[in-house]
Amino acid sequence: MIPLLVRRGLLLSPLVLLSACDSVVMKPSGDIAAQQAHLIVVSTLLMLLIIVPVIALTILFAWRYRKNNTAATYLPDWDHSTGLELVIWGAPLLIIIALGLVTWISTHVLDPYRPLSRLDAARPLAADVKPLVVEVVALDWKWLFIYPEQGIATVNELVAPVDVPVRFKISASTVMNSFYIPALAGQIYAMPGMQTTLNAVINKAGVYDGFSANYSGAGFSDMRFKFHGKDAAGFDAWVKSVKAAGGTLDRAAYLQLEKPSQKDAVRRFGSAEAGLFDAVVERCVEAGTMCMSQMMDHHGAATPTKTPPGLLAQSTADAICAAPPISVKTNHAKY
């Protein structure tokens, strides 16, 4: 027979394992992730307003009206109470309304496509501040980061300055993936032939984990990278070091990099071909491959005059895809 004290200790032992869990989701270092953590707390508290009383009353009724409690009031013919009905239906309704209001506001405020309006709760963002643009491509099974304004690119290494808004343009080479840095913001899907967007900011210098949050094949579990938050001087020094390292990411180099591989080490390219990311989205990196927008035009589809999220303007696509012959072959997605 196991002693009672030992049994209680065994029941509490899982708490020891939980103490080692990383609470970065609830204690992030980026403002967007902090607002999302606050939303989780508010939503949980609102739901507990119903859950806790229901659990407490269930235990109370089971104890109060147990079989051997002859002192409890016994009303076999009772069937209705207006006041009780109002509480039973009114309280959940009010909480649902509150949750709906919080969700509606947060959905718009935390829209990943929406440009940032603040650095944190105490610091609004000036209207003339230009975000750092980073183009993200999910490859098999590694992450490619292109800095178009700096003219550099990296594999499995992401660096951004502290308190500077960052606009991520995200796509994928073959299958759908999910770009996720818990300390920075929520996960955003990366899909081939499409572009998604994430606006975020890191508020504390440090090194944070980033990874794919969507299963994408054999190398999925090792599809991880480090996100470095640096001060302005540290970021500038890093850019100079990448440029000094040399190496060029052009279309030929990208096609080699795109090939499936696992547990890739950090790689740096001192220069990156302009328009490469747009070609990745348009599925026409390889010479002689027709771009998606050209396929639409070829089949008589109307070209939008205004670029919706995730698509390229026709003028940009024409500039990218003008070099390869149109009629050699068409692109076949690798699924």
Q: What's the pTM value of the predicted model, to 2 decimals?
A: 0.79
Backbone angles phi, psi at 135, to 5 degrees: -95, 125
Could you tell me which of 218, 77, 195, 181 has the C-alpha nearest to residue 136? 195
The whole-number pLDDT of residue 72 equals 81
- In CATH, the architecture of 123-281 is Sandwich (2.60)
The whole-number pLDDT of residue 77 equals 84
The whole-number pLDDT of residue 296 equals 75
Whole-number Å distance between alpha carbons of 66 and 74? 11
Could you tell me which of 79, 89, 335, 74 has the C-alpha nearest to residue 217? 335
Pairing of strands 177-181, 206-212: antiparallel
Please name the residues in contact with 155: beta carbons below 8 A apart, sequence gap of 6 or more: 142, 143, 144, 145, 257, 264, 266, 267, 268
Q: Is the peptide bond before 78 cis (omega within 30 degrees of 0)?
A: no
**Residue 51 tokens, joined:** 């859950």
Is 138 exposed, middle or buried (CB count within 10 Å of its CB: 0-12, 13-18, 19+)? buried
The whole-number pLDDT of residue 314 equals 39
Residues β-bridged to residue 186: none
The whole-number pLDDT of residue 138 equals 97
Whole-number Å distance between alpha carbons of 89 and 94? 9
- Reading the chain (335 residues) residue by residue, the pLDDT tens digits are 567 666 666 666 665 555 546 689 999 999 999 999 999 999 999 999 989 999 999 999 899 888 888 888 888 788 888 988 998 899 889 999 999 999 999 999 999 999 999 999 999 999 889 999 999 999 999 999 999 999 999 999 999 999 999 999 999 999 999 999 999 999 999 999 999 999 999 999 999 999 999 999 899 999 999 999 999 999 999 999 999 988 999 999 999 999 999 999 999 999 999 999 999 999 999 988 888 888 876 655 444 444 444 444 334 444 444 444 333 343 444 43
The whole-number pLDDT of residue 300 equals 56
Q: Element (H or E) spanning 106, and its range?
A: helix 82-109
